[in-house]
């Protein structure tokens, strides 16, 4: 029989429902408590998922003796504090992406996990996707050779969130780069072999989000008066092994259609994520290889299952705190370079 794992969820908004849904599908897992500062969100989530204990303050939740683990599903400004409090209370933690708002916060989170001996996992799901795992198998088999460059794109033509605090820099740390660029960066960086970033050169632009919406878009009007993040971020990151990564991320951009993709270019072969492809030279011919079947698993289900396996001590995390910290260094480097208008060094 599977070892029982009791989980508490901090933040009861959009993504919390997805966490709870998948956690409740895992044998031996019980979501026993949920916390939110908004009474309506707390009540709705507790009732929909039949969760017995509710709290308005995360400290009361992490103090529960029966909890083994906590997932943090609050806005970015409130990732570091509940993560550190839960680790100190002896719980294993999964914190949603991005790990935090700053490198300083992420370093404190990793240091606390090391001091307490608890596991810290980042809610990066793209690396679990069947397409990413197919590329990972090719990388491991040496099919791509040395990965030299990754072109990453998380581009929305008009996709400024009309809910939450996604347009407020002081609460989110930034806009599309930290919110959706992070998904494509985390998986590309993982497949590149997790090199350390050493410098960034970037620009950020705001031209639409801070004004009233003038066109119809699927997500409706956003709050332009509180909008302080970029509409578009573009940046080049260099790594200690000589590889480079280019990122383009937008909430709003004048382009034909949305793109959520990366392409890896190695010295022996290449790969792209969506649609999944491998590019190789074989017997004097250039091939675009189309996989017949990469799998149909749900990446989010795999992410939650992996966390529980880590909590049970069955395996090492595929997305440990250290990976979150490295990705945070990339994000912060891009923002710092855009602010200063210069290439910045990343420590």
Asked if 85 interacts with ligand NAD (CB under 6 A), we say no
Binding mask 234-273 for ligand NAD (x = CB under 6 A): ----------------------------------------
Q: How far is the CB of 339 from ligand NAD (least distance, A)?
A: 21
CB 159 within 8 A of CB 251: yes
CA dihedral sign, ordered 328, 330, 336, 339 = negative
Q: Smallest distance, Å, CB 45 to ligand NAD? A: 8
Among 54, 74, 112, 263, binds ligand NAD (CB under 6 A): 74
Q: Which helix (H) or strand (E) holds 325?
A: helix 321-340
Q: Does 156 bind ligand NAD (CB under 6 A)?
A: no
Neighbours of 192 (CB within 10 A): 23
Closest CA to 152 of 244, 241, 279, 240: 244
CB of 71 to ligand NAD, least distance (A): 10
Residue 63 binds to ligand NAD (criterion: CB under 6 A): no
**Which one of 19, 58, 118, 127 is in contact with ligand NAD (CB under 6 A)?**
58
Give the separation between CA 189 and CA 254, rounded to whole angstroms.
27
- Residue nearest ligand NAD, CB atom distance: 13
Closest residue by Cα to residue 190 from 333, 332, 323, 329:
323
**Minimum distance from CB of 208 to ligand NAD (Å)?**
21
Site map (CB under 6 A) of ligand NAD, residues 179-198, x = contact = x-------------------
Query: DSSP assignment, residue 127?
Result: G
> Hey, how many other C-beta atoms are within 10 angstroms of the C-beta on 37?
14
Rg (CA), the chain: 20
**Pick 186 or 248: Cβ nearer ligand NAD:** 186
Query: What does the block give as tokens for 300?
Result: 């989010």
| The binder of ligand NAD chosen from 8, 123, 176, 197 (CB under 6 A) | 123
User: Which of residues 11, 159, 181, 266 is near ligand NAD by CB under 6 A?
Assistant: 11
Three-state secondary-structure class, residue 171: helix
Angstrom distance (rounded) from CA 136 to CA 150: 14
Residue 171 makes contact with ligand NAD by CB under 6 A: no
Interacting residue ranges for ligand NAD, rule: CB under 6 A: 10-16, 35-38, 41, 58, 73-76, 78, 96-97, 123, 125, 164, 179
């Amino acid at each position: 029989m599977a070892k029982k794992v009791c989980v508490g969820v901090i933040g009861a908004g959009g993504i919390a429902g997805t966490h709870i849904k998948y956690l409740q599908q895992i044998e031996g897992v019980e979501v026993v408590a949920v916390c939110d500062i908004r009474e309506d969100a707390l009540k709705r989530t507790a009732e929909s998922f039949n969760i017995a204990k509710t709290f308005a303050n995360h400290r009361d939740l992490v103090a529960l003796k029966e909890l083994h683990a906590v997932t943090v599903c609050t806005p970015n400004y409130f990732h570091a504090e509940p993560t550190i409090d839960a680790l100190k209370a002896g719980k294993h933690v999964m914190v949603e992406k991005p790990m935090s708002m700053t490198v300083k916060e992420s370093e404190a989170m990793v240091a606390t996990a090391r001091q307490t001996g608890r596991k810290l996992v980042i809610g990066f799901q793209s690396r679990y996707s069947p397409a990413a795992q197919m590329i990972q198998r090719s990388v491991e088999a040496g099919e791509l050779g040395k990965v030299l460059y990754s072109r990453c794109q998380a581009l929305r033509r008009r996709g400024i969130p009309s809910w939450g605090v996604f347009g407020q820099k002081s609460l989110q740390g930034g806009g599309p780069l930290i919110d959706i660029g992070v998904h494509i960066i985390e998986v590309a960086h993982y497949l590149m072999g997790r090199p350390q970033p050493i410098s960034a050169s970037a620009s950020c632009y705001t031209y639409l989000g801070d004004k009233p919406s003038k066109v119809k878009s699927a997500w409706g009007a956003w709050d332009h008066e509180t909008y302080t993040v970029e509409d578009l971020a573009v940046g080049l990151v260099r790594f200690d092994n000589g590889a480079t990564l280019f990122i383009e991320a937008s909430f709003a951009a004048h382009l034909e259609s949305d793109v959520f993709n990366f392409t890896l270019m190695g010295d022996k072969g290449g790969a792209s994520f969506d649609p999944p492809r491998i590019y190789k030279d074989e017997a004097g011919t250039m091939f675009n290889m189309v996989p017949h079947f990469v799998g149909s698993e749900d990446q989010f289900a795999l992410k939650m299952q992996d966390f529980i396996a880590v909590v049970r001590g069955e395996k090492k995390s595929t997305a440990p705190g250290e990976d979150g910290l490295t990705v945070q260094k990339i994000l912060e480097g891009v923002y710092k370079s855009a602010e200063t208008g210069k290439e910045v060094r990343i420590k």
